[in-house]
Structure 1
């Protein structure tokens, strides 16, 4: 399924969850942003120090990030790296993962490229784009709150967020 269709389904699901919840109950308002330009996407790819996976590139061309992914998480857009708050939280999560050995515990190679693409408001869950194509078939790692899941593409990840039965991710590498 296309990223555009998955994005529409995920936003629909999150809007229903938001509207059926308690007003002011802590769920973020599901939100899309104006698309990122090709130049901004290229700058983000340079910052990531790895090629952006096609689905993430497509998502950024549709919306420069989104709020309400995974209910309380946000997908980072190019603008988030300028504004700092979310990027700072994502980089802090990444630093913690590198320091505590979590990546090695799930079987990721020591030299795998990790770039944050999503983080939740309290810094307890994040999604990283992976770069080690010679070893890993997956490009995404969703980690936090005691769980770890690997996804081949952003479409797989979004499909799982919409309906966990849609994709069965691996929990560790190797």
Structure 2
């Protein structure tokens, strides 16, 4: 990627899009979904260092027992397509959660990520590690009702906190 004439490279920490950076590599729909979920999961309103456990339905995102014990609090699940012509930045909240201050700060109203709704209504059943897979985007209709999208985001990434 080039910005103002400077060549930038983002190798990724988890290997979710390993072929993308290779000669002739590309980032297809699945790649965009996983990279988007991972990037959105790392947003940080205050810019303070916060250790997180990033989990999802990929081998690279599996947490062992020690990690699960160290990071027991499910924060939110992030998904979308940050590469789209009209980017999608969404998250859903797990049961019993009404805010994500690490990502949104003191208010959901000014959050860079749209809260699509509750994870248990937008995603498949949680996996054994507690992550919500295959979340679907949602839009709020003028009537106030939420319309859930049909196509799941394979790259749904759930963050757990200490």
TM-score (norm 2): 0.28
Which has a greater percent of strand? 2
Q: Which protein has greater RCO, CA pairs closer than 8 Å, 6+ apart? A: 2
- Greater share of helix: 1
